Chains A and B, each alone.
Chain A
C-alpha cells in the first residue's frame, strides 16, 4: 500500500513529459500530498533544472542503486513546498546503469512514507522506458496533437497494456485552441477516439511554460497561467475529483488585467 507510483511517458521525445512531471509534483504537493518526483532519464538529467533544484544535488539515482549513498541522502527537498522531493538522475552515466528491478526496489522503499511517486520516463521504448514503467501502478501518456506524437503514443499504449500496467490515461499537451478552431490541428475528440484511451488532462500551448523553464519555477506554483491551472485540474483528477474539461480560452481584457495585477503583487511580497 502507501504511495501511488505514477509513470509519465510518451514514446516520442520532447512532447512535455518532464514539464508534466515537475508541474504535477508541484500541484500535488500544494494540495498537501507528500510527493517524490523521480528522474528516470539517466544521462539526460532534466527534472532538476525544470524545478530549479540543480544546484542542490549531491547524489543521484545511480549512486543509490550502486550503494554509494542511502536513498534519503540522494533526495533533494524543494524548500518552496512542505513535502516535495526530487530524486535526480545521473548526468554522466547511461541508462544501463539502472535496471527495472532497481526502480522497483527504490520505489518500494519510498512507498510507506509518501502519497505519490512520479516517475519521469525518457523518450523511446528501450531500457530507460522499461526502467520507468517497471515500478508503475498507473501510467500517464503525454502526447501533442500531431501525427507523429499520437502514433508513438499508440505504440506505447500497446506496450503498457502488454506489461499489464494499463489502462494508461492520456495528457494532450501544447494544444492550440485557435488552430483547433480553424481546423488546422487535431482536436481532442479525434485524438481520444483514435487512441481509444481515457483523457486525464489537456494543457494548452502557453508561453508561461517556457518562462517557467527559464527560471526553474514551474507554472503550477500559481494560477496565473492557463497551463498552471490545467496542471492543477489534472492533480485534482488524480485525487479523485470530478473536474470538467473546460474551454481553454485566453482570458479577456479584464482577465488579463487581473492576471497582471496578481503577478505584479507576487513579485513584491
Chain B
C-alpha cells in the first residue's frame, strides 16, 4: 500500500492518519484543559521573564504540552542567543 502510494506520488498521508494525529493533539489539550491559546500566552510570558535575565532567541522558543505514562508535562524549549558560548568546553 505504502509503496503504491509512493509510486503514485501521493504526498499527503491518508486522511485517516491526519484525523488520528489531529485527535491526538486535541484530546491531549482537552484533557489537561490547556488550550493551544494558553500555550501561546505562557510562551510570551516565559520569553518576557527569561529575557530579563538571559539573552534568548524569542523566535525559537517552544512551549508544548505532552502526555506521559505517569505525568503530563509542559516542556519549554528556550534557545539562548547564539555567538556566546559558555566557557570550559
**Which of B13, B20, B24 has the most C-beta atoms of chain A within 10 angstroms of its own C-beta?**
B20
Q: With an 8 A cutoff between CB atoms, is A180 at the interface?
A: yes
Which A residue sits closest to B26, measured CB to CB? A151
Tell me, rounded to whole Å, the shortest Cβ–Cβ distance linking A179 to chain B.
8
Interface contact B1-A183, CB-CB below 8 Å: yes
Interface contact A147-B15, CB-CB below 8 Å: no
Residues of A within 8 A of B24 (CB): 194
A194 to B31, CA, bound (A): 12
Which B residue sits closest to A187, measured CB to CB? B16
Interface contact A158-B16, CB-CB below 8 Å: no
Interface of A is mostly: helix
Interface range for A = 10 to 19
Interface contact A194-B16, CB-CB below 8 Å: no
Q: With an 8 A cutoff between CB atoms, is B23 at the interface?
A: yes
Interface contact B14-A182, CB-CB below 8 Å: yes
Residues of A within 8 A of B30 (CB): 151, 154-155
Total inter-chain residue pairs, C-beta < 8 Å: 45
Interface contact A186-B20, CB-CB below 8 Å: yes
> Among the listed A151, A154, A183, A195, which residue makes an inter-chain contact with B16, where contact means beta carbons less than 8 Å apart?
A183
Residues of A within 8 A of B26 (CB): 147, 151
Tell me, rounded to whole Å, the shortest Cβ–Cβ distance linking A103 to chain B.
28
Interface contact B23-A180, CB-CB below 8 Å: no
Q: With an 8 A cutoff between CB atoms, is A26 at the interface?
A: no
Residues of B within 8 A of A155 (CB): 30
Q: With an 8 A cutoff between CB atoms, is A190 at the interface?
A: yes
Residues of A within 8 A of B49 (CB): none
Q: With an 8 A cutoff between CB atoms, is A185 at the interface?
A: yes
Interface contact A158-B31, CB-CB below 8 Å: yes
Interface contact A151-B31, CB-CB below 8 Å: no
Residues of B within 8 A of A179 (CB): 16
9 chain-A/chain-B pairs, Cβ below 8 angstroms: A151-B23, A154-B27, A183-B15, A184-B14, A186-B16, A186-B20, A190-B23, A194-B20, A195-B27
Residues of A within 8 A of B (CB): 146-147, 150-151, 154-155, 158, 179-180, 182-187, 190, 194-195
